[in-house]
Amino acid sequence: MTERVLAPLDGSALAEQALPFARAIAGETGQLILLEVGADEDECELPQRLPGIPARLECATGDPAEQILRVARELRPDLIVMTSRGGGGAPASSLGHVAEEVTQRSPVPTLVVHPVDEGEASLEPAVMRRLVVPLFGSPIARAAVPTARSLAKRLRAPLHLLTVEGGPKSEAELLASTRAQLQADGIATSIEALPEGSFAAIAAALGSGDLLVVASPSTGGEEGSRDLTERLLREAPVPVVLVPAE
């Protein structure tokens, strides 16, 4: 069960756009851990900036990516929730250095939110209407299912499994078995067959309020699968949870 959520912050409004997702997943019974990494201890302003959010507050100094990974190893949260870029000025369509380092090396799943530059973002818990899991290509894709199941139970949201039309019979049988297991666990589960397993097809299947859950491409699999996962992480129109594959 996803109960401990780590949300790294850098003092910027962009980074704080991850907080609605972190708060929603932690809920009332989980633990939200806010980590601010600054140049020195005097720059840690979490208590003053976010006084109304119930959370454990952590501050650290040094390289942001290294400090986030250190805290993740020490505290072992179930999930890291962060924006793809913070106050460092990375282009809107890319991953900043910190997010890239964390997603590549994190020992736990990482939810990446692409922030928007315009306006003040609400810090109220986000509403996520369903979890979407592409289950085609490399067998590593199925490593995303346990995390998706945990998040679905935590958020009380349905799971939507994506496959490709005309796949092998063995893949269809495995998909049906996965759906049956999820439904037996009390999770409403649906299946959608896409015309192809491309980025465009997956993006077209996503809607507002969706959360995409994919397995990490860094631990193996075919090059095409790695390229697809990396593009989804960088360009998908919804937040993406990247799950480290064993």
Full pLDDT tens readout for the chain, 246 residues: 678 999 999 888 899 999 999 999 999 899 999 998 875 666 677 767 777 788 998 888 889 999 999 999 999 999 999 999 876 655 555 578 999 999 999 999 999 999 987 656 678 999 999 999 999 866 778 899 999 999 999 999 999 999 999 888 878 888 999 999 999 999 999 999 999 999 999 999 999 999 999 998 654 455 677 889 899 999 999 999 999 976
Establish if 159 belongs to a structural domain.
yes
Establish if 214 belongs to a structural domain.
yes
Establish if 122 belongs to a structural domain.
no
Last residue of a domain, one of 84, 113, 142: 113
Q: Clarify whether residues 204 and 143 are in a common domain.
A: yes
Last residue of a domain, one of 83, 113, 143: 113
Q: Clarify whether residues 44 and 87 are in a common domain.
A: yes
Last residue of a domain, one of 113, 138, 171: 113
Prediction pTM value: 0.91
Establish if 236 belongs to a structural domain.
yes
Range of the domain at 14: 4-113
Domains in the chain, number: 2
Q: What is the CATH number of the domain that holds 75?
A: 3.40.50.620
Establish if 91 belongs to a structural domain.
yes
Q: Clarify whether residues 146 and 229 are in a common domain.
A: yes
Concatenated DSSP letters for the chain?
Answer: ---EEEEEE-SSTTGGGGHHHHHHHHTTTSEEEEEEEESSGGG--HHHH-TTS--EEEEEES-HHHHHHHHHHHH--SEEEEES--TT---TTS--HHHHHHHHH-SS-EEEE---SSSPPP-SPP---EEEEE--SSGGGGGGHHHHHHHHHHHT--EEEEEETT--HHHHHHHHHHHHHHHHTT--EEEEEESS-SHHHHHHH--TTEEEEEE-GGG-S-HHHHHHHHHHHHH-SS-EEEE---
Establish if 118 belongs to a structural domain.
no
